[in-house]
Amino acid sequence: MAKERKIQDYDPLYSFLRHYVDTVLKLSYRDIRYVGRERIPTDGAVIYAPNHTNALMDALVILAMNRSPKVFVARADIFRNRTLAKVFRFLKILPIMRIRDGYGEVKKNNETIEKAVDVLRDKVPFCIFPEGQHQAKHSSLPLSKGIFRIAFQAQELMPDMPLYIVPVGMSYGNFFRFRSTVRVQVGDPINVLEFQKAHPDQTPQEQMNLLKEELAERMQRAIFYIPYDEDYDATYEICAASVKQQAKLMRASDGRKKNQLDAHFEANKCIVEKIQTLKANNEEVAKELIKLGNEASKMRNKRGISLSSVSIKYPFWSRLLKMLFWIITLPYCLSVSLLTLPINGIIQFLFTKLKDEAFHNSVRYIVNLFMWPILMSIYTLICFIILPWQWAIPTVLLLLPAPIVAHESWRVLRLGISDLKLLACKELRQKYHKIRQLIFNK
């Protein structure tokens, strides 16, 4: 009798397709930056604990962090269809019940926990989103206990192998826009056995609660974290208005030129700290600052101005170069935009069926992943039928990046219009100027 294949076992088809999946992911973002990968332990089993803000894209970003195979979990209700369940198993995804499914259903997680432990014993990284659900915010949700149950049970069955929970923070430039940016920060790992030894007088449940607090803190340190309260929108607006000046100050103080995503990440965290300090030490200034942030956020959204227009480094040259690029490439952009209409039509139709905007990037990714190779095959065939091969080959090569070029061209136009709107709105620019004065004590 053939031995049953484990979910973590090597699959040549899966391994082959991963190259394509990772490539399409990288093309879906203008910049993906991984920081701290050297912190990932190599002497034991690893459980990745990422924040969850961008639906399917979160898992794909974690998957592409390195070439090692990884096993994930997803909510159990999407496994009810047998065909989909087989697809998810091929993709190395296990089902997990949530409290909202009912306490009776949660008991079914025992099988998943057993499989997760088996995965870890084979030293295959396991990934679970501890927040349990996604939230398109630069903040965090309470952690569920599933990850800690798996970790404690696995460690008990592997007394001679270290087990680490590795916090991972993903900070997206925009949760809803295609071709945005994402910065991935690997945090400091937690050695589960050492953590248990450090708290010998605590019961397992008390140890879990302590570990839960420790992991939440490390996850927050790995992201651009804003407390999710009534001041969230104002704080986010203040950060956008001040980030380029804060990054410049930090660069002047340490003399180091940093990657732009790193510079903005550190600058944003510094601005949030300044706001919290003002709230604690100067309540009147803090109230005025938050009031300005709320007013600016409402005014900007009402006028359809992008936050990118607020935080750009060189406003004049950025606007000029964007528009020149768009004008020069307009004929090509119009052509490829027409050729990608079938893809965009399907995407827009699917958007109408979604209530949660956080799934938009996931839909764009999946549709492009499957549809563009099909369209390219059709366009290639047409080119070689109607054109001499000397012309067909360069035409096909020009068509290859069509989805990206089409999107980028209209993004440039959209941002150019947004920049002009901001330039024309003196009242909003004055609010941003006042915000910067309060933040930097000028």
- What whole-number distance in Å separates Cα of residue 195 and Cα of residue 281? 36
Count other Cβ atoms within 10 Å, centred on residue 418: 21
Residue 5's CB: how many other CB atoms inside 10 A? 10
Q: Shortest CA distance to 63 belongs to which of 124, 30, 33, 22?
A: 22
Backbone angles phi, psi at 122, to 5 degrees: -85, 5
Contacts made by residues 151-157, CB under 8 angstroms, sequence distance 24+: 151/47, 151/192, 151/211, 152/192, 152/196, 152/204, 152/207, 152/208, 153/113, 153/117, 154/45, 154/47, 154/116, 154/117, 154/120, 154/121, 155/192, 155/193, 155/196, 157/117, 157/121
> Distance between CA atoms of 9 and 123, rounded to whole angstroms?
11
Helical H segments across 222-282, by residue range: 232-254, 260-281
Distance from C-alpha of 356 to C-alpha of 378, rounded to nearest angstrom: 33
Task: State residue 420's pLDDT score.
Answer: 86
- Rounded alpha-carbon distances, angstroms, from residue 342 to 240, 363, 368, 405: 35, 14, 10, 15
CATH 3.40.50.720 fits 12-221, yes or no: no
pLDDT of res. 113? 82
Q: What pLDDT score does 207 carry?
A: 94
Q: What is the pLDDT of residue 264?
A: 93
- For every one of its 442 residues, what pLDDT tens digit does the chain have, with 9 covering 90 and above? 456 788 888 899 999 999 999 999 999 999 999 999 999 999 999 999 999 999 899 999 999 999 888 999 887 777 888 888 888 888 898 888 765 555 555 566 777 888 888 899 888 999 999 998 889 999 999 998 889 988 998 898 888 889 999 999 999 999 999 999 999 999 999 999 999 999 999 998 999 999 999 999 999 999 999 998 899 999 999 999 999 999 988 888 877 778 889 999 999 999 999 999 999 999 999 999 999 999 999 999 999 999 988 887 556 676 677 778 778 888 888 888 899 999 999 999 999 988 888 889 999 999 999 999 999 999 999 999 999 999 999 999 989 988 888 888 888 888 888 888 998 999 999 999 999 999 998 6
User: Sign of torsion, CA 408 409 414 415?
Assistant: positive
Cα gap 416→298, rounded to integer Å: 20
Sign of the C-alpha dihedral computed for residues 214, 219, 220 and 221 taken in this order: positive
Per-residue model confidence (pLDDT) at position 1: 44
Answer yes or no: are the C-beta atoms of 269 and 169 closer than 8 Å: no
> Which parts of 169-226 fold into alpha helices (H)?
192-198, 204-221
Q: Tell me the DSSP string of 17-79.
A: HHHHHHHHHHHTSSEEEEE-GGGS-SSSEEEEEE---STHHHHHHHHTTSSS--EEEEEGGGG
- Could you give the angle at the alpha carbon of 430 between the alpha carbons of 428 and 431, nearest 5°? 65
Per DSSP, the three-state class of 229 is coil
Q: Exposed/middle/buried for 209, CB within 10 Å: 0-12, 13-18, 19+?
A: middle
User: Quick one: pLDDT at residue 330?
Assistant: 84
Contact 166, 48 (CB under 8 A): yes
Structure tokens at 58: 């979160």
What does 103-160 look like in DSSP terms, one character per residue? HHHHTTHHHHHHHHHHHHHTT--EE--TTSS---SSS--PPPSHHHHHHHHHHHH-TT
Residues pairing with 46 in the sheet: 164
pLDDT (0 to 100) of residue 217: 96
Please list the residue range(s) of the chain that carry CATH number 3.40.1130.10. Answer: 12-221
- pLDDT of the residue at 138: 94
Count Cα atoms within 13 angstroms, Cβ side, for 130.
31
| Type of residue numbered 124 | V
285 vs 435: CA distance, rounded Å: 10
Report if pTM > 0.85: yes
